[in-house]
Structure 1
Amino acid sequence: MRTVRLRLSLHWAVLGTVLIVAMTVYAHILWEAAFEEVSGDEERELLSKKSVRQDEEEEYTQTSAVVLLQNETEFRETGRNLAEYNPEEDDLTSAQERLQKRRRWIQSVCRHLHHKEPVEKTARNSFNYFFDYRAAVCPIPKSGSSTWREHLRIVNRGPHPSVPIFQDLRLIKIQRQPIKKIMRQLSQTTKIITVRHPLTRLVSLLFRSKFNKGMPLRAYSPKSEEERRKKKAGFSWSDNFYAFWLPALHANNMLPTDFHRDLNLTSPLDPDIRYNTSVYTAIYWRVRPRINFNQFMKLVVSSHKEGKANPHWDTYYNRCSPCRFDYDYVTHIENARGRPQVRIQSVGSSFEADLGRELLEDSL
């Protein structure tokens, strides 16, 4: 009798265990089905948002390309009926012929364009001079301007690398002259300009150097700033925040609307205002800025539309007025090879630059 009862108990125990396992499996199946349904909804929602975001980013990118290549588009449109310049012919012609061809091409295109170039601003603020020679260069940011500054320091024997070129007292003296005198001097001066493709200029150096390739931007370090200033002139951390990072945050609506109250400011943050380092530091630790390429492009487009383009991505005609100044040397940074050594020789009152056929001829 006891044996029968024991067997029944075991049967009921096994049956109960099976039922529990079955219910657990069934509940798990129901849970997975519900999770898959929710996940599917979430995934569809995420894909929808991603599609909208991609459309917006594509629109920003396309718009920026239109703005940045505006000159090139007009260049091609107005040059259809002209004898177009063919870069492939460069290998078959001498450096002098190439220079003449580039000058003629600029002149022919300029006759069909109607840009209002800031001639006086260019003459007074954009040219840097080789003081002992009748030569001047209009350096364009991210188109070899740093290399030109190095050459200027070497040839002019100063100023010290820790002093910006524009603070050279000799340059300031020239800039303070009456504009007519400056223009007369420039008409008798050999003028140089170095250019590069606008998108290459924008992406390869500017986005990488100023926005850290889209990675998190660096924090403020007083010790590093002090050491850097002793060695070399250039943008400080606060300069970068004022000129690049805060405008990018503002253009992309990445700043809290009431954030200025936390900073004890009476009005919302304005990218046109230069704040002290403590304000920028507070913004940095609150936002932890990281600007991707599309956000950077939105900054570029909006600044051009508002007429507030940063000099680093401003147009060539707005920086150097190529339609009003007859540049003797138009060099291409894409063709430069290595880091040329500058050797200057004076021939009478003219300027002869022998860059070892490395800067001029290799860049033509």
Structure 2
Amino acid sequence: MGTSRMFRIFVVLGSAFMILLIIIYWDDVGASHLYLHTPVSPGPKIPHPPPQQRPQTSRTPSFLSDIDAFVNQFLEPGTGEPTDPVPVDTSNQSEKAEERYIPRREWKIHLTPVAAELRERQEQRRKLLQEMCANDSVVFPGKNRSFDDIPNKELDHLIVDDRHGIIYCYVPKVACSNWKRIMIVLSESLLHDGVPQRDPLAIPRDLVHNSSMHFTFNKFWKRYGKFARHLMKVKLKKYTKFLFVRDPFVRLISAYRNKFELRNDDFYRRFAQVMLRRYANQPTPPASVDEAFAVGVHPSFSHFIQYLLDPQTEKEMPFNEHWRQVYRLCHPCQIQYDFVGHLETAEEDAEHLLRQLRVDNVVEFPTSHRNLTASSWEADWFSTVPVEARRELYKLYEPDFRLFGYDRPDSILNE
């Protein structure tokens, strides 16, 4: 009996080991089955009438279905996520909160079609990305590497919402605060009085940019270990991927205004002091942003451009995300985005995207006209920047101009 029992144990362990090997190395076939039975949006937990019986067809059990069954035993039912052994904290739940809970309605069918011109706009933007990525005249670092070659630390801008099958690559200074708010609402990762927060604008700014509120690709390693990169590819294939971009030079102006014309002690200490020492002939700049503002000291926009063009800047650290090129943040030649929004057409694009995602009955994009930087201001801002520096700056950001269809700013570069 003992020998027979040990034999059965070894058979089971051997089978499990072989299944795991197949999951790890069966990239093409395994990827198409790993999440095949995982619903993207499970819907509310409310009673439903029993489904109508469908005619059953005979189906021969396959080895792949055995693999699915093996993987699914480690996943929470209906989520596609690993089982979390930590008990859920229900201390903030209440009967009143349950009464106020509004069931999710993502499954509502939208009958009104999206305007043809909006669909055509997206088709043109996606086609342009493909053409520029295949065009040998458009050259930039990392363009021809594979997705597997992208370091994990460079995947921290890809936010994943498993509830709705969405991946959003956020670009700072391109309405990313409001899109992050929408991602929090959709993922239901923030509770208010015991129920998911439904109002994007009610989410405090400190939470919007809190990394713990967002599940990004660079966190996959901690959760999934050796399966991380494989699961990234599965989700990139199945989920809807989007990003929003903006005229690169106008984005730089917006970044400068927000980080150096306003009181921001962190950016003052990390960046402004460096600019003042290197380019403003101030070897001992004020110690804090309050002291600097009190005496009217801050780096000029021309100093900021000098800092971006200085080879020493990249040697010390990669560009900060607020002025890092979009191709370095979102990897558009490795990731085939389904939707490319422009800040210049933000309202139309946001409405189109939410319709496409089938969540426009759940959340609306919050529009705001506060502190917007207009493209018509470019000439005034760059008037203090030498023409040669403007041309060098264009070379630095030219891939973003060409990838996303922004015209070369000849009026600024040819003065």
Normalised TM-score (structure 1): 0.51
Residues in 1 aligned to 2:161 and 2:127: alpha-carbon distance in whole angstroms: 26
Per-residue deviation at 1:332?
0.8
Query: SS in structure 2 opposite 1:242?
Result: helix
Residues in 1 aligned to 2:312 and 2:234: alpha-carbon distance in whole angstroms: 32
Count of matched residue pairs: 223
Q: 1:330 to 1:294 in 2, by over 3 A?
A: same
Conserved 8 A contact 1:140-1:319:
yes
**Pairwise mapping of residues 46-85 of structure 1 onto structure 2 (< 5 A)?**
none
Normalised TM-score (structure 2): 0.45
Q: 1:294 aligns with which of 292, 296, 302?
A: 302
Q: 1:147 to 1:97 in 2, by over 3 A?
A: same
The reply to whether residue 313 of structure 1 matches residue 323 of structure 2 is yes
Which region of structure 1 is more displaced relative to structure 2, 283-292 or 162-171? 283-292
The reply to whether residue 116 of structure 1 matches residue 165 of structure 2 is no
Q: 1:142 aligns with which of 167, 173, 187?
A: 173
Residue type at the aligned position of 1:116: P
Query: SS in structure 2 opposite 1:313?
Result: coil
Residues in 2 aligned to 1:304 and 1:137: alpha-carbon distance in whole angstroms: 32
**Pairwise mapping of residues 146-157 of structure 1 onto structure 2 (< 5 A)?**
146-157=177-188
Q: 1:173 to 1:311 in 2, by over 3 A?
A: closer
Match of 1:189 in 2: 239
The reply to whether residue 174 of structure 1 matches residue 220 of structure 2 is yes
Per-residue deviation at 1:122?
7.2
Which structure 1 residue ranges, 5 or more long, are not aligned? 1-91, 219-236, 264-278
Per-residue deviation at 1:240?
2.1
Residues in 2 aligned to 1:153 and 1:183: alpha-carbon distance in whole angstroms: 23
Per-residue deviation at 1:116?
3.4
Residues in 1 aligned to 2:348 and 2:121: alpha-carbon distance in whole angstroms: 21
The alignment yields a C-alpha RMSD, in angstroms, of 3.9
* Deviation beyond 6 Å, 4+ runs, structure 1: 338-345, 355-359
**Pairwise mapping of residues 115-264 of structure 1 onto structure 2 (< 5 A)?**
115-117=140-142, 119-121=150-152, 124-159=155-190, 161=204, 162-163=206-207, 164-168=209-213, 170-171=215-216, 173-174=219-220, 176=222, 177=224, 178-203=228-253, 205-212=254-261, 218=263, 237-256=264-283, 259=284
Residues in 2 aligned to 1:105 and 1:343: alpha-carbon distance in whole angstroms: 19
Residues in 1 aligned to 2:210 and 2:179: alpha-carbon distance in whole angstroms: 10
Q: 1:331 to 1:170 in 2, by over 3 A?
A: closer
Which structure 2 residue ranges, 5 or more long, are not aligned? 1-114, 143-148, 191-202, 366-404, 406-415
Residues in 1 aligned to 2:246 and 2:361: alpha-carbon distance in whole angstroms: 19
Query: SS in structure 2 opposite 1:191?
Result: strand
Write out per-residue CA displacement over residues 18-44 of structure 1, whole angstroms, 9 at most, x where no aligned residue. xxxxxxxxxxxxxxxxxxxxxxxxxxx
Match of 2:126 in 1: 103
Residue type at the aligned position of 2:220: I
Give the structure with higher Rg (CA). Answer: 1
Q: 2:360 aligns with which of 349, 354, 357?
A: 354
Per-residue deviation at 1:315?
0.8
Residues in 1 aligned to 2:297 and 2:179: alpha-carbon distance in whole angstroms: 32
Residues in 2 aligned to 1:342 and 1:115: alpha-carbon distance in whole angstroms: 31
The percent identity for this pair of structures is 22
Residues in 1 aligned to 2:363 and 2:119: alpha-carbon distance in whole angstroms: 12
Residue type at the aligned position of 1:316: V
Per-residue deviation at 1:208?
1.7
Residue type at the aligned position of 1:352: R
Residue type at the aligned position of 1:129: V
Per-residue deviation at 1:330?
0.4
Match of 2:390 in 1: none
Write out per-residue CA displacement over residues 237-295 of structure 1, whole angstroms, 9 at most, x where no aligned residue. 44222343223224415432xx59xx9xxxxxxxxxxxxxxx54697489753222211
